[in-house]
A and B are shown apart, each in its own frame.
Chain A
Amino acid sequence: MRIDILPLLCALRRNPTGAVLVVLQIAITLAVLVNAAWIVNQRIAQIEQPTGLDTPDTFGMIVGAASSEFNVQQAEAEDLAYLRSLPGVAAAAMTGGIPLTSQGAMGATLWPRPGRGGEAEGTNFLNASGNLLQTLDVPLIAGRDFRPDEIRTPVPGKGAQPPAEIILTQALAQALFPGENALGRAVYTADSYPLTVVGITRNFMDAVGVSGGPLYHAALIPFAPGQRSYYALLVRAQPGRRDAVLRAARQHIGASHPDGVIASLETFSSAKRAFDADDRNMAVLLAVVTALLVIVCCLGIFGLATFNVGTRTRQIGIRRAVGARRRDVVTHFLVENAIILAAGTLLGSLLGLAVGDWLSARYGLPRLDLAYLVGGIAGLWVVGQLAAWQPARKAATVPPSVATRTV
């Protein structure tokens, strides 16, 4: 089959406005499509990052003082004893905040050398006072847990001795000591106070990741601060028994302290959902708006093709009369559409790459993967040709006798 491109180009040159407008639409649509798909993909990858925790079975609770009479240390000891005696509880621990949320978070910056030497890394400190790693269900990959004698508890009126040890997640250890073994090394706080790394855990998410920092930066210190009016309890239930444990714990702890209140209660699964919500919503909004955009673009292609067929009825009739088959007429319109699509996708590729560059410069997104561009071109090409298919078929039904009519 032979296709004459030249007469097609001549026809386009005779009346370029409509074609140019469609080319512009295709270009913008392609640029938006590939970049939106790229962003959606990033967001899905974000959502699929594992928490590193036993998300379905664990919950946290913050109990706060409702009176200056509230004896935090006594209350937390009572609560912990109650929780550990509760059937269905796998492990329970006292700490300062609820992981996966920013509630009770204690931000800190660590340096690999004293005097703020080397690259600083942000993290969150989780107060560990025994059993915390078991409750979080986070295994150590090197070193050991804190020994009971290392855990500093507050002395009334004087606060607690500062801790001397620290446990880091693998990600934090690698960020502080790239390519080296962090175990046994000291890390330093802003005022050059040293903490010896005694253990390294598998990665898990804590407050830093939730508030937009490095996802798996977290650290445990064997310390309970002296000045506080609240404490956090973490409970890991046996599989499938979380809700029953949670109900019992809420009822008991809510009623057992006349001077204290449950300030917050959060399951890890709801915390993770809340953490993902913005990514998920952005992905959904982008996907919906982009799909609408492609539809509008197809409507444009369809409209132009319909118009072309409508204004060229006589010419089609003449071509049919001098021997063109129906198939030739369909091919004619599809090839014309293909020329427009080619121009549109070419312009759109340039525009899409420019937008991708701008996005990565402005918002720090990873550079656009060219596979997305290729996929976008192919996808737009397919739906673009499908949009022109119906008008082209309609053109083929023009009977040759049209050519002989004068009006």
Chain B
Amino acid sequence: MIGYYVRLALKSFRRTPGLTALMACAIACGIAACIVTLTVYHTLSGNPIWWKNGVLYAVTMDSWDPKSPYDPAQPGLAPDQLTYQDATYLFDSDIPRHKALLTLIGGALSGAPGQSIPAIAFTDATTAGFFHMFDVPFEYGGPWSAAADRGPDPVIVLSRNENDELFGGADSVGRSILWNDQRFRIVGVLDHWRPEPKFYSLSGGGTGDFGGTTDAFVPFRWDVTQRHWPAGTFGCWGSSPINTYRELLGSECVWVTLWVELPTAGQRRRFLDFMNAYWAHQRANGRFQRPRNNHLWKVSQWLKMHHVVSDDSRLLLRLAFAFLAVCLINTVGILLAKFLRGAPVSGIRRALGASRRQLFEQHLVEVALLSLGGSSLGVALGALGLQGVHAMYAGSEAGYGAAAHFDVQGILWALALAALSTLVAGVYPAWRIGRVSPAAYLKSQ
């Protein structure tokens, strides 16, 4: 039966090629616009580590000035980083499965073979837990040990890009390199790892939320013993001047990010209890004079809090849906018109014994064929549109052009969207044509 319906549908297309092309174009336009805007939105709002969303948490505590909030625009929020004293105290808890301290430091790498001048390297000072909790892939070697964290040992992990530049992509594990004027042993080289957005550290000075990369990782405690000033955003309050590194460590300046991995609700409760107890103790000693605001942030909430998803992309998403709505209404209208035009033929088929159900099926097959043509055209148009977006955003400071590519997930989304939307659009006209009374059309013949 399906074969017969397909033949009927093709015949109907041939009878009204103009209307058919019109419908296919309308569907294609709607699908293409949706693909482009949805992909941009998906990229901009994506959680690059969604599979650990309820497991990884960023820790914040409001240690800020009792007289005014950290961010006057959002007075309910604590600073997004911790003071050194709070971060290291909380880090020493053994409740989390993995935990990582993180701060951005500036530096330059040199001493690789054939390298004449030092290469600037955005370096994150962190702890070994970082590589475990964020499922960071390694090409050569691996993370440094917990002992290297405590040492602290001068060990370094390079990004794949940095290793390509300095060692031509060769296995450099075990070799030594100069970070500023300090000699480091390379223990690992990352495989391609470039989460977008760079969720783990959104306050990186030179590197943006998008397109930002970390070139090298060194142990956090090494950074502290070497007294490297943080190079990322850091906020201070209070009137005592900070001239020495020792003063920085004891100050109320916030410049350290703490991530913890807490897979179970029990662990989360215990860690919050631990934070609250610490908070109460510190408050009794005169710190934390603002209302208690100890918080564990899921990655998705963390991204939301940092406004990584811009208002622009939300607007575009709404626009895409308005567009799709217009295209669907359009398709319903034209399909209805087309089917009703063929009503006399349908009337005869009904009179000859075709059931309503059969007529419905026949027209739905026609809709499905049309949807197939329209959406293939739409996916092609969408791919073209994304090329345009890619070119457009290439110069953007946010740099998410690289991210707005047409991936497999995008294609699946688009096809599902296309199939669903046109079927929805086709159901009413197909049903409506089944309701026509055959007598009315037989009479006029």
Show the binding face of A for B, using Cβ within 8 Å.
17-18, 21-22, 24-25, 28-29, 31-32, 36, 39, 64-69, 102-103, 116, 120, 158-159, 162, 190-191, 193, 226-230, 254-255, 259, 261-264, 273-275, 277-278, 280-282, 284-286, 289-290, 292-293, 295-297, 299-300, 302-304, 306-307, 310-311, 363, 407
Contact = CB atoms under 8 A, between A and B. Distances in A.
A230 B230 CA distance: 12
B426 to A, nearest CB: 14
Contacts of B396: 274, 277-278, 281
A275 B72 CA distance: 24
Interface residues of chain A: helix, strand, loop or mixed (majority): helix
Contact of A24 (B329, B336, B392): B329
B330 A303 contact: yes
Given A229-B106, A275-B397, A310-B341, A299 B25 contact: yes
B326 A29 contact: yes
Contacts of B18: 306
A191 B389 contact: no
B73 to A, nearest CB: 10
B29 interface: yes
Contacts of B353: none
B422 to A, nearest CB: 14
Given A159-B243, A226-B243, A299-B25, A274 B330 contact: no
Given A66-B110, A277-B393, A259 B330 contact: no
B180 A296 contact: no
Nearest to A264: B206
B326 A297 contact: yes
B181 interface: yes
B37 A289 contact: yes
B229 interface: yes
B337 A281 contact: no
7 contacts: A21-B333, A28-B322, A32-B319, A259-B181, A278-B312, A286-B316, A289-B316
B22 A230 contact: no
Contacts of A228: 229
B113 interface: no
Given A21-B330, A229-B106, A296-B326, 10 more contacts: A21-B329, A22-B333, A102-B205, A255-B117, A261-B119, A273-B395, A274-B396, A277-B395, A293-B326, A296-B26
Contact of B330 (A103, A262, A297): A297
Nearest to A22: B333
Contacts of B377: none
Interface in B88-135: 106-108, 110, 117-120
B237 interface: yes
Interface of B: 18-19, 22-23, 25-26, 29-30, 32-33, 36-37, 40, 65, 67-68, 72, 106-108, 110, 117-120, 180-181, 205-206, 228-229, 231, 237-239, 241-244, 310-312, 315-316, 319-320, 322-323, 325-327, 329-330, 332-334, 336-338, 340-341, 389, 392-393, 395-398, 432, 445
Given A64-B108, A259-B181, A261-B118, A296 B30 contact: yes
A116 B316 contact: no
A143 to B, nearest CB: 28
Closest 6 CB pairs of A and B: A307-B337, A66-B108, A67-B181, A191-B239, A277-B396, A21-B333
A25 B325 CA distance: 8
Given A67-B180, A282-B312, A303 B106 contact: no
Given A21-B332, A281-B396, A289-B323, A159 B241 contact: yes
Contacts, number: 179
A193 B239 contact: yes
A69 B178 CA distance: 14
Nearest to B316: A285
Contacts of B26: 296, 299-300
A69 B327 CA distance: 66
Contacts of A159: 241, 243
Contacts of A292: 29, 32-33, 323
B175 to A, nearest CB: 19
Contacts of A67: 180-181
B395 A303 contact: no
Contact of A296 (B231, B243, B330, B336): B330
Among B68, B119, B329, the most chain A Cβ lie within 10 Å of the Cβ of B329
Contacts of B337: 18, 303-304, 306-307
Nearest to B68: A116
A295 to B, nearest CB: 7
A65 B392 CA distance: 35
Nearest to A363: B311
A302 B329 contact: no
A86 B335 CA distance: 73
A190 B330 contact: no
Given A66-B110, A116-B68, A261 B334 contact: no
Contacts of A286: 316, 319
A264 B121 CA distance: 11
Contacts of B68: 116, 190
Among A158, A261, A282, the most chain B Cβ lie within 10 Å of the Cβ of A261
A54 B81 CA distance: 37
A157 to B, nearest CB: 9
A303 B181 contact: no
Contacts of A262: 120
A295 B29 contact: yes
A116 B65 CA distance: 12
